[in-house]
Amino acid sequence: MGSDFLDELQRVLSAISANPARYGFADADIREALLNRFPYAVYYRCLSDRIRVLAVYHTSRDPSGWQSRA
């Protein structure tokens, strides 16, 4: 189970790396990429020279937790 989650997370991170604009905005300049099979999302910001992952967060939790990291 744990390795399935990590595999799916790596798949989403690779997709973000290959095409950062693929996923929609969750807030202002922060994008949200949902994992398949798991109720988690990756929140990230595109910077001029890199992608900064802010959180991998369970979708049922209060979003103010990841928003405070922005």
Given pLDDT bands bounded at 50, 70 and 90, which one contains residue 1?
low
Which residue in the block uniquely carries the two structure tokens 């967060």?
57
What does the mean pLDDT of the chain come to? Answer: 91
> 6-17: per-residue pLDDT in tens?
999 999 999 999
The pLDDT value given to residue 51: 97
Q: State how beta strands 30-34 and 25-27 pair.
A: antiparallel
The pLDDT value given to residue 2: 82
- Domain positions in the chain are 2-67
Compute how many other C-beta atoms are within 10 angstroms of the C-beta atom of residue 26.
18
User: What is the layout of strands, in order, in the sheet containing 51-58?
Assistant: 25-27, 30-34, 40-46, 51-58
Q: How far apart are CA 21 and CA 8, in angstroms?
A: 19
The pLDDT value given to residue 27: 87
CA angle 46, 50, 51 (to 5 degrees): 45
